Structure 1
Amino acid sequence: MKLTKYTHACVRLEKEGGVLVLDPGTFSESAEALAGAQAVLVTHEHADHLDTPAVVKALQDDKDLVLYAPEGVAGQLRGEAPAAADRIHAVEPGSTFQAAGFDIRSFGGQHALIHPQIPVVANIGFLVDNNVYHPGDSFIIPDGITVQTLLVPLHAPWSKSAEVVDFVIGVRAPRAFQIHDGLLNDNGLGIVEGHVKRIGAKYGTEYRHLASRESVEV
């Protein structure tokens, strides 16, 4: 499977002609990532994970494109793109389905807490082909599964570095790449990635930084 990292939280997966895009948000090159996609997975409603105009346009332009997201996101998008309503599917935690030729499992249920006065929204983590795990904005560890490729949210208003490192240790995937890095400058990125790479290696995880638009086989 080919994995292409876009800015911040967006990732594109390709396998045997199938193209799946996760979290095309406003911080990312969403239109580019969505070009030619057959399916889109959205973890939650925040704009850095969902570029609504770009996603609606993609759904309107491609009558075969399907999208999976938590119910609140799915309902919003059905309102924005009524002609595509039957191709926009709500996902609950613990679901299994196929999209663009990939096997998908869903985990979690809610976004990590930012502050008690900020409402918590639904968040679904997606495991693709028992290989690539995108947790969205959470540190939910998939149960009963050995993750092969972990996408690590490096920095967010809801996290601290110790939690990032503990998430990597908890999942213990053989390889890991960064997501949710759009709020870090080079100095901050170097510090957080240094911790993840050094400590993760002690528990069998090889961490590697991917530049925007860089691809790797996983």
Structure 2
Amino acid sequence: MKIILTLLIMFVFAVYVQATDFEKDVFKTSGGDLEITFIAHGTLMMEYNGKVIHIDPVSWYADYATMPKADLILITHEHGDHLDAKALDAVKKDGTELVLTEICNQQYGGTKVLKNGESGTFAGIKVDAVPAYNIKNEREPGKPFHPKGTGNGYVLHFGDKKVYVAGDTENIPEMAELKDIDVAFLPMNLPYTMTPEMVAEATKMFQPKVLYPYHFGETNTDELVELLKNQNKTELRIRNLK
């Protein structure tokens, strides 16, 4: 009941939230500035070289009628806090490329389906689809919240920089294969994704230069700060991404 009430409140106030109201960070790349807008939960917006990229746009978190129109949209998986037809309809324009999973494509047709391990170039940006799934956390025995092979994380290439948006996942073995990640978004809420301890372990696996925990709900981010305080490989940044 508490979760439902929280979502209703977020939905009511979303109409008042516009792109100018969100925190932003800017990263220098060999192809120009990359601006990342932190919307909420698993929802992000990026602007690069004149292109607008929306990741998991959801109407609970913003009024997408007021947001910049998308050149590229990436959807990680089919759950309602990541795939929202209303937001997609609002933010698309002629020529928008929509990249998603097979299950998402059955619910809302896209431009391109990417499976784990596949890559493509969309709106001039190379995108790699990587695994995102649960190992331990299950709805019931044998039924993980996010089964292997159905959801995507994405690695986006911006000039000489790589940004990893993990989607809903745990600290899976495939993360050790990630190389030279400059910016990473890792989810941190139970029972659906990771504990702070699991995020810390994932961080050690591939050592991104900058880490943003996201999709963290009421998880205490101070726990992750404490876990990563004695390492100097990754800069931890906390933004409002509950």
Q: Normalized against structure 2, the TM-score is what?
A: 0.72
CA contact (8 A) 1:5 1:11 kept: yes
In structure 2, the partner of 1:136 is: 167
C-alpha deviation, 1:123, in angstroms: 0.9
Structure with the bigger RCO (C-alpha within 8 Å, sep 6+) is 1
- State the partner residue of 2:38: 5
Q: Which structure is higher in helix share?
A: 1
Residue number in structure 1 paired with 2:226: 198
Once the two structures are superposed, residues 133-177 of structure 1 have per-residue CA deviations (whole angstroms, 9 ceiling, x without a partner) of 011001341615221111121213223332122112222111111
8 Å CA contact 1:165, 1:195 repeated in 2: no
**What is the distance in 1 between the residues matched to 2:154 and 2:188?**
17
Q: Counterparts in 2 of 1:64-213, with a 5 A limit?
A: 64-78=95-109, 87-108=110-131, 110=133, 113-117=137-141, 118=143, 120-121=146-147, 122-129=150-157, 131-138=162-169, 139-140=171-172, 141=175, 143-158=177-192, 159-181=194-216, 183-184=217-218, 188-189=219-220, 193-203=221-231, 204-211=233-240
1:194–1:137 Cα change, 3 Å: same
Secondary structure of 1:73 counterpart: helix
- Alignment check: 8 A CA contact 2:59 2:86 kept: no
Report the alpha carbon displacement of residue 77 of structure 1 after superposing the two structures with TM: 0.5
1:30 Cα deviation from its structure 2 partner: 5.9
Corresponding letter in the other structure for 2:154: F
How high is the sequence identity, in percent, across the aligned residues?
19
CA change 1:14–1:58 in 2 (3 A) is closer
Aligned residue in 1 for 2:8: none
CA–CA distance in 2 between the matches of 1:72 and 1:37?
22
Unaligned runs of 5+ in 2: 1-33
Q: Do the aligned partners of residues 58 and 176 (structure 1) sit closer, same or farther apart at CA in structure 2, a change above 3 Å counting?
A: same
Q: Which stretch shows the higher mean deviation, 131-140 or 117-126? A: 117-126
* CA deviation string 1:52-93 (max 9, x = no partner): 22113434xx12111111111012102xxxxxxxx5211111
- Count, aligned residues: 195
1:46 to 65, 79, 82: 79
Partner of 2:29: none
Q: 3-state DSSP class of the match of 1:146?
A: coil
CA distance in 2, matches of 1:6, 1:179: 10
Cα deviations by residue, 1:108-137 (Å, 9 ceiling, x for unpaired) = 154564333546441101001151101100
Gap regions ≥5 residues in structure 1:
79-86, 213-218
Does the 8 Å CA contact 1:169/1:200 hold for their aligned counterparts?
no
Q: Compute the TM-score of the two structures, normalised by the length of structure 1.
A: 0.79
Inter-partner Cα distance in structure 2 for 1:33 and 1:156: 32
- Secondary structure in 2 aligned to 1:197? helix
Deviates more, 1:21-30 or 1:65-74: 21-30
CA distance in 2, matches of 1:133, 1:57: 25
Structure 1 residue identity aligned to 2:114? V
Q: Compute the displacement of 1:5 (Å).
A: 0.8
Change over 3 Å in CA distance of 1:142–1:31 after alignment to 2: farther
